[in-house]
Amino acid sequence: MEEQKTLKNLMEAFAGESQANRKYLAYSKKAEAEGKVNAAKLFKAASDAETLHALKHFEVAGKIKATADNLQDAVNGETHEYQSMYPDFLKTAEAEGNKAAVTTFTYAMKAEEVHARLYKEALENIAQTKEIFYYLCPVCGNIEKDVPEKCPICGVPGSKFIKY
């Protein structure tokens, strides 16, 4: 029984540390934009520390499996997001007239569909050894295997994409 509580605690800690990571990263970017260099560096260091905590909690919880299992988990998660979660969020934002939320949910929903497809492709071609590069749109989170002229989701120029 205690083992189950510990697993629940590990996953709760993982979620909290993951959220803190993103929050502190956002704070770091804001501090940097305001010219508050020391605060920006502190927030960035704390963000990285929270990532270390989150990754260790996730590992100890036994949630990191073989790559094929991890890819399938990613397909399932991204599919849930674009088919169920974001459409519901979008309806609420539209009903409340929150245009900024409509935009961010729309971008994320469309990008998550692309992510699910890419994970599925990676799973289907898991034995492939030829290196593939991925390109991230820094505005909407879309990922492409080739640099587009402009992002098909948000329209940002392809020259802004980040190579992985």
What the block records as the tokens of 65 is: 């499996």
Taking only the tens place, the pLDDT of each residue in 152-163 is 999 999 999 999
Residue 2 has pLDDT above 90, yes or no: no
Q: Which residues contact 45 (CB under 8 A, 6 or more apart)?
A: none
Residue 144 has pLDDT above 80, yes or no: yes
Across the range 8-18, mean pLDDT stands at: 98
Taking only the tens place, the pLDDT of each residue in 22-67 is 999 999 999 999 999 999 999 999 999 999 999 999 999 999 999 9
Mean pLDDT score of the chain, rounded to an integer? Answer: 97
Neighbours of 59 (CB within 10 A): 12
- pTM of the model as a whole: 0.92
Task: Please give the Cα distance from 149 to 157 (Å, whole number).
Answer: 6
Same fold, 2-60 and 65-129: yes
Residue 3 has pLDDT above 90, yes or no: no
pLDDT at 1: 62
What would the CATH number be for the domain defined by 65-129?
A: 1.20.1260.10
Let me know: does 62 contact 12? Beta carbons within 8 Å.
no
Domain boundaries along the sequence of the chain: 2-60, 65-129, 131-164
| The CATH number of domain 131-164 is 2.20.28.10 | yes
**Strand pairing partners for 162?**
136
- Please name the CATH architecture into which domain 2-60 falls: Up-down Bundle (1.20)
Across the range 108-133, mean pLDDT stands at: 98
- Rg of the chain over all Cα atoms, to the nearest angstrom: 18
